[in-house]
């Protein structure tokens, strides 16, 4: 098949950590081994587990090594970053988990109202325990960069309004890179009964034998880009978009406006950092319009390349040619110098920034299993 073929071809054995026997990806920093042991130990004492997963990859973002222990506990699966996921597909995943008798709720860790709904569900699940236990322990677990620490901080903010006399609570460290939280810390969020929430480091399995799951984790930022390679991640992303025919849904962008072209010419320089929130200076109208028009140009370019593609989407060689052509077109759209020795890497970084920021649209990369 086209997608499977190009995945295998793109992931040839080399410096990126995939092995010949199954394509396992290895990224297991030293602290993860110790953290995994600590998590297993504390899970035995926990009254409830909040397992945070990425809403774009509800299956792939599960730590399979911990699933036997997690499924044996009272558990709520929180599908974080719901704003980056296609709501229709996400709802199908929620129904799937419901059919498996597993509590699941889509959330945005930065939204108080969303986190309140999660806490209401947690309190409901703990009702039968609250009556006989003076102290309860809730553990937050998940793979790197799914938003656990951001969730903890939102819970702290809500708890501080509910219990203003409580001692000042320490905020969890939040960062854009996987592996920011490297120890286990407990935070008191309620009195009578006393409820503690444990924030834990994000941990992966020591190796990921499934190539596609490894690529999805890399695409979502749970594995450092440098481990796999930005160009390989984008090659996979483009293959998935083409296979699903996603760019064909962008037909309405077939004729970019003259205004878009003018702005592009006036502002040829472009940096991935342009898309990141600026803490000290808010972007002005021209900055926002530029990013919006840049996204329109990127989507238009992918629509044109796929709609004019004359090959077989299921043939791996044809798919490879299409993806290579799309890299060339994106280089022009993103205004990267043609002679740049790092042009492909720059294209990949900028395209990944657009995808991860949600500018290209909302996606769920995991296919919904049959109930």
All residues at 6 or more sequence positions from 258 whose CB lies less than 8 Å from its CB, including other chains: none
Are residues 362 and 87 in contact, defined by beta-carbon separation less than 8 angstroms? yes
Least confident of 153-162, 223-232, 299-308, 338-347: 153-162
The alpha carbon dihedral of 339, 345, 348, 349 has a sign of negative
Residue 255 has pLDDT above 90, yes or no: no
Q: What is the structure's pLDDT at 270?
A: 53
Tell which residue, 291, 305, 306, has the closest CA to residue 359: 291
∠ CA 281-282-287, rounded to 5°: 115
Residue 185 has pLDDT above 70, yes or no: no
Q: What is the structure's pLDDT at 258?
A: 44
Are residues 159 and 218 in contact, defined by beta-carbon separation less than 8 angstroms? no
All residues at 6 or more sequence positions from 273 whose CB lies less than 8 Å from its CB, including other chains: none
Helix axes 112-130, 148-162, angle to 10 degrees: 70
Q: Could you tell me the two tokens for 349?
A: 């970084």
Surface-to-core class of residue 199, CB atoms within 10 Å of its CB (0-12 exposed, 13-18 middle, 19+ buried): buried
Dist. CA 267–CA 14, nearest whole Å? 38
Name the more confident of 17 and 219: 219
The pLDDT of 165-191, averaged and rounded, is: 52
Dist. CA 324–CA 163, nearest whole Å? 57
Q: What is the structure's pLDDT at 73?
A: 93
Residue 108 has pLDDT above 60, yes or no: yes
Q: What is the structure's pLDDT at 264?
A: 42
Q: State residue 135 phi and psi, 5-degree precision.
A: -135, 130
Q: End-to-end distance of the chain based on CA atoms, in angstroms?
A: 25
HSE toward the beta carbon, residue 282, CA cutoff 13 A: 2
Residue 363 region by backbone torsions, left for phi larger than 0, else alpha for psi between -120 and 50, else beta? beta
Least confident of 36-50, 60-74, 192-206, 217-231: 192-206
Are residues 147 and 178 in contact, defined by beta-carbon separation less than 8 angstroms? no
Domain regions of the chain by residue span? 1-19+208-253+285-370, 27-197
Dist. CA 79–CA 73, nearest whole Å? 18
Q: What's the whole-number average pLDDT of the chain?
A: 79
**Stated pTM of the model:** 0.80
Q: What is the structure's pLDDT at 204?
A: 72
Residue 331: pLDDT band with limits 50, 70, 90: very high
Tell which residue, 236, 160, 163, 173, has the closest CA to residue 201: 173
The helix/strand/coil state of 333 is helix
For 337, other C-beta atoms within 10 Å of its C-beta total 10
The pLDDT of 225-253, averaged and rounded, is: 91
Dist. CA 343–CA 162, nearest whole Å? 52
Q: Could you tell me the two tokens for 226?
A: 């440098």
Q: What is the structure's pLDDT at 32?
A: 64
Dist. CA 272–CA 236, nearest whole Å? 20
Choose the most confident range, by mean pLDDT, from 12-21, 88-97, 251-260: 88-97
Q: What is the structure's pLDDT at 262?
A: 41
DSSP run (H or E) holding 336: none
Dist. CA 173–CA 171, nearest whole Å? 6
Dist. CA 39–CA 41, nearest whole Å? 5
CATH of domain 27-197: 3.40.50.300
Residue 325 has pLDDT above 60, yes or no: yes
Q: What is the structure's pLDDT at 171?
A: 47
């Amino acid at each position: 098949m086209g997608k499977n073929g190009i995945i295998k071809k793109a992931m040839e054995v080399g410096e990126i950590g995939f092995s010949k026997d199954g394509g396992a990806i290895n990224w297991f920093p030293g602290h993860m081994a110790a953290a995994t042991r600590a998590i297993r130990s504390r899970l035995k004492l926990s009254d409830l587990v909040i397992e945070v997963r990425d809403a774009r990859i509800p299956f792939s973002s599960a730590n399979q090594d911990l699933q036997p222990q997690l499924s044996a506990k009272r558990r709520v699966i929180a599908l974080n970053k719901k704003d980056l996921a296609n709501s229709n597909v996400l709802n199908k995943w929620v129904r799937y988990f419901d059919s498996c008798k597993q509590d699941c709720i889509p959330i945005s860790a930065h939204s108080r109202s969303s986190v309140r709904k999660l806490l209401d569900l947690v309190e409901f699940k703990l009702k039968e325990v609250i009556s006989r236990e003076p102290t309860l322990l809730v553990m937050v677990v998940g793979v790197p960069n799914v938003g656990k620490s951001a969730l903890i901080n939102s819970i702290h903010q809500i708890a501080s309004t509910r219990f203003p006399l409580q001692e000042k609570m320490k905020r969890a460290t939040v960062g854009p890179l996987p592996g920011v939280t490297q120890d286990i810390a407990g935070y008191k969020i309620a009195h009578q009964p006393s409820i503690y929430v444990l924030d834990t480091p994000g941990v992966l399995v020591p190796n990921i034998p499934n190539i596609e799951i490894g690529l999805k984790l890399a695409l979502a930022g749970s594995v450092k880009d440098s481990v796999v390679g930005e160009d390989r991640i984008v090659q996979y992303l483009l293959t998935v978009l083409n296979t699903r025919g996603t760019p064909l849904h962008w037909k309405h962008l077939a004729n970019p406006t003259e205004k878009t072209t003018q702005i592009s010419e006036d502002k040829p320089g472009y940096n991935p950092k342009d898309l990141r929130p600026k803490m000290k200076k808010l972007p002005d109208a021209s900055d926002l319009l530029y990013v919006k028009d840049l996204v329109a140009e990127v989507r238009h370019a992918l629509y044109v390349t796929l709609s004019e593609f004359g090959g077989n989407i299921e043939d791996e060689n044809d798919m490879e040619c299409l993806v290579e052509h799309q890299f060339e077109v994106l280089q022009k759209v993103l205004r990267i110098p043609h002679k740049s020795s790092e042009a492909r890497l720059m294209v990949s970084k900028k395209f990944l920034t657009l995808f991860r920021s949600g500018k290209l649209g909302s996606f769920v990369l995991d296919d919904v299993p049959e109930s």
